[in-house]
Each structure stands twice: as structure tokens, then as C-alpha cells.
Amino acid sequence: MVILETKGLTRRFGDFTAVDAFTIAVEAGEIFGLLGPNGAGKTTVIKMLITLLPPSEGIATIAGLDVVRDAGKVRAVIGYVPQMLSADGSLTGYENLIIFARLYDTPHAERKERVRQALAFMGLTDAADRLVNTYSGGMIRRLEIAQAMLHRPPILFLDEPTVGLDPLARDTVWEHIQRLRTDYNTTIFMTTHYMEEAESLCSRVAIMHLGKIAAIGTPSDLKASIGGPNITMDDVFAHYAGGTLESGEGFRETERTRRTARRLG
Amino acid sequence: MRQRGPGAQPAGSASPYLYRVSPQAAFFAFVRKTLTIVEMEVRKLRHDVTELLTRAVQPALWLLVFGEVLASTRAIPSGNLSYEAFIAPGILAQSVLFIAIFYGIAIIWERDLGLAHKLLVTPTPRSALVLGKGLAAGIRGLTQGVIIYLLAALLGVSMNWDPWALLGVIALIVLGASLFATFSLIIASIVKTRERFMGHRPAPGYALLLCQQRHIPNFHNAGLVTGYRPDESLELRGRRVAGADASGRSEYLWPGSGLRGLDHCGVWAANAGGTVVPKCRDITETRKNTRKPGCHE
């Protein structure tokens, strides 16, 4: 069953086309990775899918709901973990979860149990009553994923979920993302810069370049498509995404990414 | 809230997630989510009491230091009231407005941190988010109000402890703080970045400046606003203030109608503060009556 579908999704900012005729179909239960160099349009695609940015052209549906026409209902069936750190450091882990459980209309009778389960699932039970500003980077990311999962959405959007994390914390986050799929059959739509992450986690990946999809398929298919022995995903990425020095995100995005990395570090 | 089970009404689409929501359920969901945003702020305040204390520094300075000094020098006439009693309502209004305006602006930082995006992706109506933020500013304003009441009581300012008067003050603080926080949110959502905000910072500052007329009697006539000269030093302006009661100048710094709304807000806020010390209302009235013809309210 297709849970996410886009047809000719386009976003323009003035004369600049950030995303150009983006067309994909994601099956339920897939972990779909969106790769691309900085400024390729990955975050713009996610923002359109999560209803934060209206598309200039094209359509996108999530669980059969149009992201423009049924924006309010789409928000009820998705979970989103932004690239920036979004957990509130002035609240405890438990409070962060209970607040979002209410905002996501989690039934009152189940709310506390869901929060308890989410904390246990992410291995944060012992730290539940600590202020989030005392958490490590990996713990904050796990808490954010727990926040986005409280209402059991069929699809979860992760925007560079492991940016700025050390290898150990990254492994833990990967493990939890995989468990979300196996335990809850959650569809994951994620962007990443890490090729090893895409290769080990994603069932399919799309590589974006200059706002367009340059290639799409399973990691092994993509490796096979450029042929040759000992091909890695880095080679695939370099082949499809090019490597021009002109490409890259803007000053503000770079500043945010670095700030996030600093906070996580 | 989505209706499920037998009462649910499919909207005729293939999606199992399309449900019609009754207006009543939507209203209750709106109220619940608004209160959740307020609760988030209350929980934050509970965890960080130091914030409340540091916010009390400015009103404490005004009341305990400037108030005492200006009262002892008798530089500013305040009728038959002590200067502390005279400025207490103004300090309250000013502090609440400061908190509300800067709380609203903080959305820029929340946006940079990703918290605003995360809230916007929840199925919470935008209006509930804005109202929740406004009421949360009201809660912060109330904490400030309590501190100023305590400081004023410490200084022996005579206050009206009638429960209805107190309820009126609470309502005005919450309403005023909500209004100014949402006003600030509007500016924040227009300018979007911290850098641009620095250029717009004077806008809410005008409202605060206008509230200063509570601190200094005959503010309009004194020359701080009237006959403003950008090349004049603060010292010279201060001297002119001291002897300007009889100057009779009626030009207004902002003669057009563009900023008249802000002026009204400032006067409203100052009058709101006047509820704390009812005696001060007499001074407000006197001042209104003695204003020169042609001056704007």
C-alpha cells in the first residue's frame, strides 16, 4: 500500500526553483532515504510534505490525505523530527512527552501509559524526570523521536536525525529507528548526509541534485547501476549528485546546522 | 478531536483518516490545546525560579532605588502622594509590557531552535498556539505583578486590597500582556530573523516609552515628548524637563495618526496600572484636564 505519493511536486522561491517536479511513491513500512548535497532541496521537500510550506505546483498525499487541502488532518497522521534540536530544554523528558501527547490528541485514558512506553522504548525511563538540558545529544534525539511517535503515526519524517551525533549515539538512534519499523510498522521518510546510514537503514533511497531526483532505487540497485567492483554509496552519491563547489546551503541553514551540532556535541 | 467508532462520519474519501469533526469537539480541542501551551509555560517557570528573580531586578531598581532617590529630592511633583505610590502602577504596567513584548519576540529564537516548527506540525490550530502564547505571557505578567505588589507593600505604598479591584488588576494584566505578546508575535512573524528584529525593536519600545508618562508627571507638557530635538543631549533635555511645566509647548513628537494607536495603548496600560493605586487615578484625571489643547491623548 502506498502511504506517501507525490506527483510533480515543485516549489519556487521567486525565480529560483528549489524543488522541481519531485515524484515518488513510498510503500507503507518502508524506510525511505532522501540524499543529496547541501541545498539540493531535501528539507524543502520535507517541509512541503509536513504542511509547513505550500507547494507551487504538483500534488502530494499522505495516507490518502492531500497535504494542502487536508493539512490539519495530515498533521494528525504524521510525526516529525526536525534537523534542529526541538525538545524543550527547560522541561523534563516526561513533561516534553506529556505536552506533545496532549497536542496530538492522545486519548486521556492512554496518555500516561503511552508516555511510559515511549520512554521505555527509547531507553529514557531513568532520565524521565531530569531537565532535557542535562541530556546528551543522543538522548535528546531519542526523546524527540519518542515525542513524534506518541500518537502512533503511520509515517514519521526525520530530517537528518543523526547530524552532529557521535558514532555511538548515532548507532543507538539507528537501532531505535529500525525498531520503530519492526515493532510498529512505521514508515520512515528521512533525509541524511551519511551514506553508511542510508545503506544500512534505508530500503530505498532517492538522490536529489539541484532540486530534481537524479536517481532512485535500493542501495544495491544504485550501486549496480554505476557498475564496477567495490562500488560504495559514496561513489553512487558522487556519481549522481556531482560535486560542484557552487552547491551548498545558505548561510542561515549552515548556521543552524552548526548550532545543532554544537548543542548535541 | 477526531470522532471514531459508530459516531464517526466518513467524509466520502478513500482515506481512513478523514473524519468530520463536530464544531463542539473542535471548540473543546481548541480550549484544551490552548491551555496545554499555557501549561508548558507554567511548568517552565516552575523549573526556573531564577528567571522570576532576575526579572524582578528592573522593577526593584525603579521602586527601591530611583523611586527612593527621586522621592527624597522631590524633583518631580506627585501631588499629595509619595513618589513611590505615584510610580508603582506605572512600574507594574511597564514591567508587564516588557515581559509580554519580549516573550512574544522569543518566538524567533524558538523558530531557530526548531521548537516552533515542531509545534506547527502538531494538529493544533494556529489560533490556539497564538492564544496559548498570549495567555502564557499573561501568566508571566502575573508573576511580575505579585513581585511589584510585594515591593510596593514593603515601601508602604497604600493599596486597594478589595478582591474585585485585585481581580480587575489580574484581568487587566492578563489581557494587556496577551495583547502585547501577540502584537510582538506579529512583528516576529514578519521580520522572521533576529537581525531584522533588531531594526524593528524600537516599535514595541515606543509603547513602553509612552508608558513612562506614569513615571514622570506632566510627561507630555514636560518636553520629553513635546518639542523633541534629536541633537539635544540627555542632560539638556533633563534640565528642560525640570523647568518645562510652564513652557506650554504643545507640539507632539508624533503628530500624525501613524503612532496614535500605540500612544493609546501606552495610556491604556498606564491607566491599567492605575487600578493598583486608585488614588493615582485622580492624578491621571488632573493631568488629562491640565493638558494643553491640541495634544493627543
- Which tens digit of pLDDT belongs to each residue from B132-155? 999 999 999 999 899 889 988 888
Taking CB atoms and an 8 Å cut-off, how many pairs form between chains A and B?
A: 92
- Enumerate the H helices of B155-233 as residue ranges: 163-191, 194-200, 202-211, 219-222
Which residues on chain B are in Cβ contact (under 8 Å) with A77?
A: 17
A190-209: pLDDT as tens digits: 998 888 889 989 999 999 99
CA distance A17 to chain B (A): 22
CA distance B218 to chain A (A): 44
Give the model's pLDDT for residue B258: 33
The alpha carbon of residue B193 is apart from the nearest alpha carbon of chain A, in Å, by: 10
* Domains of chain A and CATH, by start: 13-231+240-264 (3.40.50.300)
Mutate to test the interface with B, among A70, A103, A131 (most CBs of B within 10 A): A103
- Dihedral angle over CA of B66, B71, B73, B79, nearest 10: 130
Please report the ipTM that was assigned to this predicted complex.
0.85
- Could you read off the pLDDT of B44-90 as tens digits, one per residue? 989 988 877 888 888 888 888 877 777 777 666 667 777 778 788 88
Per mean pLDDT, which range of B115-124, B189-198, B227-236 is the poorest?
B227-236
Handedness of CA B252, B258, B264, B269 (dihedral sign): negative
Among candidates A64, A72, A75 on the partner chain, residue whose Cβ is nearest the Cβ of B14: A64
Looking at residue B292, its pLDDT comes to: 41
Min CA distance, A205 vs chain B (Å)? 24
Does pLDDT of A48 surpass 90? yes
Judged against a pLDDT cut of 70, whether residue A88 lies above it is answered with yes
Q: Provide the shortest C-alpha distance from residue B117 to chain A (in Å).
A: 8
Please indicate whether, in this complex, the C-beta atoms of B115 and A88 are within 8 angstroms of each other.
yes
pTM of this prediction exceeds 0.80 = no
Query: Considering only CB atoms, which chain A residues are within 8 Å of B48?
Result: 90
Higher pLDDT, B244 or B208: B208
Q: Is the CB of A63 less than 8 angstroms away from the CB of B17?
A: yes
Q: What percent of chain A has pLDDT over 70?
A: 91
Q: Which of A84, A90, A103 sits opposite B114 (nearest CB)?
A: A84
Contact B31/A at CB under 8 A? no
Cα–Cα distance, B32 to A253 (Å, whole number): 34
Identity of the residue numbered B118: K
- Which range has the worst mean pLDDT, A35-49, A61-75, B5-19? B5-19
Q: How far is residue B256 CA from its own chain's centroid?
A: 24
Least confident range from A21-35, A150-164, B63-77, B272-286: namely: B272-286
pLDDT at B183 over 70: yes
Chain A residues with CB inside 8 Å of B16's CB? Answer: 63-64
**B16·A64 Cβ contact <8 A:** yes
CB A209 within 8 A of CB A37: yes
Which residues of chain B does A259 touch, with a Cβ-Cβ cutoff of 8 Å? Answer: 112
Show me where the domains of chain B are located: 31-232+244-290
Nearest to A104 among B17, B40, B122 (CB): B122
What local confidence, expressed as pLDDT, does residue B158 receive?
82
Q: Could you report the per-residue pLDDT of B283-292, keeping only the tens digit for each?
A: 444 444 444 4
Question: In DSSP terms, which residues pair with A62 in a beta bridge?
Answer: A4, A65
Mean pLDDT of B161-187: 91
pLDDT band at B275 (very low <50, low <70, confident <90, very high): very low
| Phi, psi for A58 (deg, rounded to 5) | 85, 175
Annotate chain A with three-state secondary structure. Answer: CEEEEEEEEEEEECCEEEEEEEEEEEECCCEEEEECCCCCCHHHHHHHHCCCCCCCEEEEEECCEECCCCHHHHHHHEEEECCCCCCCCCCEHHHHHHHHHHHCCCCHHHHHHHHHHHHHHCCCHHHCCCEHHHCCHHHHHHHHHHHHHCCCCCEEEEECCCCCCCHHHHHHHHHHHHHHHHHHCCEEEEEECCHHHHHHHCCEEEEEECCEEEEEECHHHHHHHHCCCCCCHHHHHHHHHCCCCCCCCCHHHHHHHHHHHHHHC
**Residue, of A102 and B224, whose pLDDT is higher:** A102
Q: Which conformational region is residue A227 in: left (phi greater than 0), alpha (psi within -120 to 50 degrees), or beta?
A: left
Residues of B with Cβ-Cβ distance to A144 under 8 angstroms: 118
What mean pLDDT do residues A127-142 have? 92
pLDDT, averaged across chain A: 88
Asked whether the beta carbons of residue A91 and residue B16 sit closer than 8 angstroms, the reply is no
Other beta carbons within 10 angstroms of residue B96's beta carbon come to: 29
- Model pLDDT, residue B20: 75
Does B107 touch chain A if contact means CB atoms closer than 8 Å?
Answer: no
Instruction: Report whether pLDDT(A253) > 70.
Output: no
